[in-house]
Structure 1
């Protein structure tokens, strides 16, 4: 099973993750990433993986469980 990890200390608030998969990622008032779920369903998994690759600060990662 795939798990998304977000490091808020590294996040620069570019919003690429939210634009790519809004079912998994959101941004707080400060623009920092917030996970709506850390275990995306099958429908969101591919886009969530893509969002991880787009993150300019490498604040997102994927863990296999």
Structure 2
């Protein structure tokens, strides 16, 4: 199952990921990404991968396990 990771130091709070996949990403009070889940199902993978790609800071990665 693919594993979602976030580089919290790189996150700039653009929220592109939240807009694209609000069930997977959120922002905390400081505007830093919060991962609502880290294991991604095959069904959700295309949408979550596209949301990660939309990050201008490249703070999100998906690792195939």
Taking structure 2 as the reference length, what is the TM-score of the superposition? 0.92
Q: Does 1:52 align with 2:41?
A: no
Partner of 1:40: 40
Runs of 4+ aligned structure 1 residues displaced above 4 Å come to none
More helix by proportion, 1 or 2?
1
Aligned residues: 65
Partner of 1:30: 30
Unpaired segments ≥5 residues, structure 1 = none
RMSD: 1.0
Unpaired segments ≥5 residues, structure 2 = none
